[in-house]
């Protein structure tokens, strides 16, 4: 039986990266129930959304553009107020508390420290099966993926070779891999369910040092 998501409206940050792939995945889950997906390019586009996806891509470019267009600070405020947010790859870097990249200031919505491109270059990309808590075996696509080198007060939902690859802190979800490139909708369904239910935000977050 399909869950009804008619009131759910998910925004996808639309400047750079796997924007269309996330939109396609989200629509495949939402549209049969009347839910909607919208592209976020201005601060006012964030108003009225049930959840936000920050896609993979180039973290420096995404950070520069969301700062330039006044979106960065609004996402931080909305995240702290309980808006469900999912960041994949570069999106995770932006959500993190420590990016180890002077060009990108992390939002501090996920208490993790990041090592960028830790698996190598584009040609070193790979797919492998991981076990996600509450979801099961999943084909994870790693493309110039970051590594979570330290994890603070977050729930680790999946590991790959002893490194956390999917973490959650209340209303914020972060992945080092690309679920939008698999054809498997279960991660997007999980996030949509978060958006449909809503999550009480964590009032105080300890930052990884």
Q: Which residues are catalytic?
A: 89, 178, 180
First to last CA, the chain: 45
Distances (CA, A) of 135 to 65, 95, 131: 33, 22, 8
Joined together, the tokens standing for residue 124 give 């070193």
Please say whether the beta carbons of 137 and 129 come within 8 A.
yes
The dihedrals phi and psi of 123, each to the nearest 5 degrees, come to -70, -15
Q: 9-13 and 51-54 as β-strands: parallel, antiparallel, unpaired?
A: parallel
């Amino acid at each position: 039986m399909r869950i009804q998501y008619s009131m759910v409206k998910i925004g996808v940050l639309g400047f750079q990266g796997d924007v269309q792939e996330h939109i396609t995945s989200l629509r495949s889950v939402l549209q049969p129930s009347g839910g909607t997906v919208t592209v976020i390019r201005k601060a006012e586009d964030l108003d009225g959304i049930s959840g936000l996806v920050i896609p993979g891509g180039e973290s420096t470019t995404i950070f520069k553009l969301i700062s330039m267009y006044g979106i960065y600070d609004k996402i931080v405020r909305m995240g702290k107020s309980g808006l469900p947010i999912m960041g994949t790859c570069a999106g995770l870097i932006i959500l993190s508390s420590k990016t180890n990249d002077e060009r990108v200031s992390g939002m501090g919505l996920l208490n993790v420290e990041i090592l960028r491109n830790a698996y190598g270059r584009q040609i070193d990309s790979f797919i492998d099966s991981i076990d996600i808590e509450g979801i099961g075996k999943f084909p994870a696509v790693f493309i110039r993926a970051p590594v979570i080198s330290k994890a603070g007060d977050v729930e680790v939902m999946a590991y790959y070779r002893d490194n956390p690859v999917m973490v959650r802190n209340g209303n914020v979800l972060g992945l080092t891999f690309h679920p939008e490139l698999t054809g498997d909708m279960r991660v997007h369904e999980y996030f949509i369910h978060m958006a449909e239910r809503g999550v009480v935000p964590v009032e105080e977050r300890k930052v990884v040092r």
